[in-house]
Chains A and B, each alone.
Chain A
Amino acid sequence: MIFSPTPLSAAEDALRHEVRAWLAKTLPTDFRPGLGLGGRHDPEFSRALAAQGWVGMSIPEEYGGASATTVERFVVVEELLAAGAPITAHWIAERQTAPALLRFGTEEQRRWFLPRIAAGECYFSLGMSEPDAGSDLASVRTTAVRDGDGWRVSGTKVWTTNAHLNHFFVVLCRTSTADDRHAGLSQLIVDLSSPGVTVSPIPLIDGELHVNEVVLDGVYVPDERVLGEIGEGWTQVTAELAHERSGPDRYCSVIGLLRAYLDEHGVPDDGSAAAFGRIAARLWSIRQLSLAVARSLDEGEAPATEAALVKDVGTIFEQQTVETIREIAALEVDPEGSMFGRLLAECIMNAPSWTLRGGTTEVLRGIAAKALTRGAAR
């Protein structure tokens, strides 16, 4: 394990305070914080943030970014998530797509997409899950067949967040019928406004309509929009997932709730202080684990196991926090009540998704256990 206490440099700490001050000035005083990644889709905010240089920070300067380190991006993203800022529009493009383009994309793709992403103007969704391919991603059935200088893609993707608002999604699909089910996969960048794309909402238990089913019916994708190599989709996707599991989005979903709780209830007695203190202690410790992973990425390591551990610890922490806060607040949840009541209601109804998205708890523990027992056999 690579975890060790990771100090911020004075410059990194100054960046944190700069972001914090900008958010205090930019977000309205009656702002209702989003639950981390559950923040609103707000292109205006994304562009304003980009104007500060805080979107696509790790993109090299030659492609419109800031050539920032993983830790610098960590510092900015943690402040945004802790404030519940409306970051959803640009989130996937900057976290997932930009690094994939840098790693696997063509020069032409980088020159076209990256400056637009860094400007907070080009938004992506994920195109991985399907009705029969959730945790078992390698069983995707969406298929691309050769057509002239491009591909015709058909199939169904699900859980596609904000596909009705975003511009593109990277589709994991089958480009050959190889016996090895990992070998025939490829990634294609699909324009969500292409003919043959049908986006329909999948209403969630809280009535929200940000998650979609996307049906692709013979959608044409030119060769220039193939991401990486044909047949290398599996390798590319697993590299993406491993690096993106342990970020601040795994423990920041509840910060808004904690603030609202303090604002409306405080800790009037030792019992509530003890419960709140245990939450604070865990948060204090988990964020340092997450920061340690970010630092080790900057030092050239690939801490996939550590990332899986942090995600598991972080999301379980978030769920336990909601339960503890509900208990010490000791009231009936009112989804139309005060800020605290509304956030608590939203947390309770969204908390189950925290241990599902980005790899279920069971999948993550499988990854971690494999690494632990492999280490013992060495």
Chain B
Amino acid sequence: MSETTELRDAVTDVLRGPCTPAALEEAERDGWAPAVWSALHDGGFATVAVPESAGGSGGSVAQACAVLEACGAAAAPVPVAETGLLAGRLLAAAGLSVPDGPVTTVAAPGLSFDGEVLSGAVSGVPWAVSASLAVVVDGSAVVVSPGSGVVTPGRNLAGEPRDHVDLTGVRPTAAAPVSPDAVEELRRRGALSRAALIAGAARAVLDLTVRYTGEREQFGRPVSKFPAVAAHLVQIAEQTELATMAARSAAAGAGEEGEPAALDVAAAFSVAADAAGLIATAAHQATGAMGMTREFGLGVLTRRLWSWRDEWGGGAAWATELGHLVAAGGADAFWPTVSRGLVTAQT
């Protein structure tokens, strides 16, 4: 675990310089944050969990999620999850090398591919203007250059680009067949990436809210001294620990080289998605009107929590999947299934 801790700390350090409030405002205006991207890209942090043979930095899913926790805490407005853990691993599995620069992806899009050109459109593509796009179409992983096709810019609540792209007539720069599991595995990694980002942002919300309520005085004392306000802080701390434990456990379950398990990802995302809403509500209540202002810095985090919890299927869909999964074996299998945690090989 210490390796992941060090990685998380390293990324936190790297982001401290470029990921300023001004840079976040500019990123919302321009749709791109070149200094933030450079810092992460130059350190090799954007391609953790992508094998070195495919041009990545190597490492496990848990290490990639450690990077994402730090990115979530800093509200880093760049496609780190998409470049490495999601698209990077997808391309590596198809035997393709990962383009140098930001890469993005989406879940099973409604596209078709005749071996020459693509047809159809995809929506909700993160940073489509700036990033190469890697998707699975008709059993093949295909890559197109940044800004290919007709891009109609869109955004999520946090002002992060989520674009509509019509790829009809676009010729991929690379294509290779990929295993039938690739789409499902990508979907799981997508959900896990959001759980890790939520866990990171949650921790930052906790720190910010504890600090503010400790400084802000009303009725002659810090508002955190009032039990009703303190209860909000405890609620944020509890949900942060739950989301963090969930995301890290699902990531650790993938081992050194493997993929996260369906049950683990479903549980982690369900917990993180619910935590996101509870944390945002409690933090805004505790920080009052100040927390609602653009300058305070809570909004860049809560707007991300409100966005990420709905991506890659959203909390309810994963909870539904989990419900069917744990009920499938009947009553006797329920506890053994839910309690099957991590087990190390050695005694």
**A contact set with B: CB distance below 8 Å:** 1, 3-13, 16, 20, 78, 82, 255, 258-260, 262-263, 266-267, 270, 272-278, 280-289, 291-292, 306, 309, 312-313, 362, 365-366, 368-369, 372-373, 375-377
Contacts and interface: CB of A to CB of B under 8 A. Distances in A.
A8 B344 contact: yes
A275 B326 CA distance: 12
Contacts of A288: 245-246, 249, 341
A82 B342 contact: no
Given A8-B344, A9-B346, A262-B334, A373 B245 contact: no
Contacts of A284: 246, 249, 263-264, 267, 271, 338
B64 to A, nearest CB: 15
Given A5-B249, A263-B331, A372-B233, A282 B338 contact: no
9 contacts: A4-B245, A82-B339, A260-B331, A263-B331, A284-B246, A288-B246, A309-B237, A362-B227, A369-B230
A207 B258 CA distance: 54
Contacts of A369: 224, 227, 230-231, 233-234
A164 B316 CA distance: 48
B248 A4 contact: yes
Contacts of A372: 210, 230, 233-234, 237
B345 A10 contact: yes
B327 A266 contact: yes
Contact of B347 (A6, A9, A282, A285): A9
Most A-side CB within 10 Å, residue of B224, B248, B324, B347: B324
Q: Closest 10 CB pairs between A and B?
A: A277-B323, A273-B323, A369-B230, A277-B322, A7-B342, A277-B319, A281-B270, A263-B331, A281-B267, A276-B323
A24 B271 CA distance: 31
Interface of B: 1, 207, 210-211, 213-214, 222, 224-225, 227, 230-231, 233-234, 237-238, 241-242, 244-246, 248-249, 252, 263-264, 266-268, 270-271, 274, 316, 318-327, 330-332, 334-336, 338-339, 341-347
B320 A270 contact: yes
A260 B330 CA distance: 10
Contacts of A267: 323-324, 327
Contact of A5 (B245, B266, B320, B347): B245
B323 A313 contact: no
B342 A273 contact: no
B343 A10 contact: yes
B214 A373 contact: yes
Contacts of A260: 331
